[in-house]
Amino acid sequence: EIVLTQSPGTLSLSPGERATLSCRASQSVSSRYLAWYQQKPGQAPRLLIYGASSRATGIPDRFSGSGSGTDFTLTISRLESEDFAVYYCQQYGNSPCSFGRGTKLEIK
Amino acid sequence: EVQLVESGGGLVQPGGSLRVSCAASGFTFSSSWMSWVRQAPGKGLEWVANIKQDGSEKYYADSVRGRFTVSRDNTRNSLSLQMNSLRAEDTAVYYCARSVLPSAAALLQHWGQGSLVIVSS
């Protein structure tokens, strides 16, 4: 099973700042099958990014994904108040699919 | 609008059984791979199982294989997870989710609101 390590565990930033979240895989992720999800308290996860860099339907362009192989990044260019949440990366190219432990993005 | 509505969660004793279900609407259920994902209280996401469009292929996480069974009824647009020999570590919110890829690769575009299962004596 591919293990995904997300860093940092918690990121404290202010609205308007840039956020950079990292996801490192224990082995290469097939065909860039790497996704990012956002989860707010009491809600289900929401798909943000798939294929490492493609935005899901309705996702603002301040969210962007990059990377390949074993290193991936989610960037939020200018944080808005609704962006403070927990973010998970997921690889879905190898079975079983696996999730990282999450990065909590909190207001500084 | 895609809707996934889970039901059937609750409190069960260790060693007991429980069945959670998911009612789907707003898309062609019979054309979609479906998954179950769980989240223990205060913890991250864990993929549990998925099932092919026609039910002919099913895959499970090692942590539940042999105890959980995923099934579907395409005539009722319904997905189920039968959970047997439950353990305290199975306590979680169980989410039903739809994959948007026509393969076992679980890219989960749509999620239900979740159903809480508590395993405790």
Contact in structure between B4 and B96 (CB atoms under 8 Å): yes
pLDDT at A26: 96
Token digits of residue A70: 């074993």
Query: What mean pLDDT comes out for the span B79-88?
Result: 98
The answer to whether residue B103 scores a pLDDT higher than 90 is: no
* Per-residue H/E/C for chain B: CCEEEEECCEEECCCCCEEEEEEEECCCHHHCCEEEEEECCCCCEEEEEEECCCCCCEEECCCCCCCEEEEEECCCCEEEEEECCCCHHHCEEEEEEEECCCCCCCCEEEECCCEEEEECC
Instruction: Give the list of residues 6+ apart from residue B28 with CB closer than 8 angstroms, or none.
Output: none
pLDDT band at B101 (very low <50, low <70, confident <90, very high): confident
Place of tokens 């996702």: A59
pLDDT at A66: 95
State whether B107 and A92 contact (CB < 8 Å): yes
State whether B45 and A46 contact (CB < 8 Å): no
State whether B44 and A93 contact (CB < 8 Å): no
Q: Which of B37, B45, B63 to substitute to test the interface with A, most A CBs within 10 Å?
A: B45
- Identify the three-state secondary structure at position A31: helix
Query: What mean pLDDT comes out for the span B100-108?
Result: 88
pLDDT tens, residue by residue, B3-55: 999 999 999 999 999 999 999 999 999 999 999 999 999 999 999 999 999 99
Alpha-carbon torsion (A60, A6, A73, A11), positive or negative: positive
What number of residues does chain B have? Answer: 121
CA-nearest of B48, B46, B9, B52 to B34 is B52
pLDDT at B40: 98
Contact in structure between B111 and B3 (CB atoms under 8 Å): no
pLDDT tens, residue by residue, A9-66: 999 999 999 999 999 999 999 878 999 999 999 999 999 999 999 999 999 999 999 9
Query: What mean pLDDT comes out for the span B88-116?
Result: 94
Cα B14–Cα A88–Cα A13 angle in degrees, nearest 5: 125
Residue B114 contacts A where some CB pair is shorter than 8 Å: yes
pLDDT at A95: 83
The answer to whether residue B90 scores a pLDDT higher than 80 is: yes
Partners of residue B46 in chain A, C-beta under 8 Å = 99
Q: Cα–Cα distance between B97 and A6 in angstroms, integer?
A: 23
Token digits of residue A82: 């609704």
CA-nearest of A7, A10, A9, A12 to A107 is A12
User: Which segment of A29-33, A70-74, B65-69 scores lowest on mean pLDDT?
Assistant: A29-33
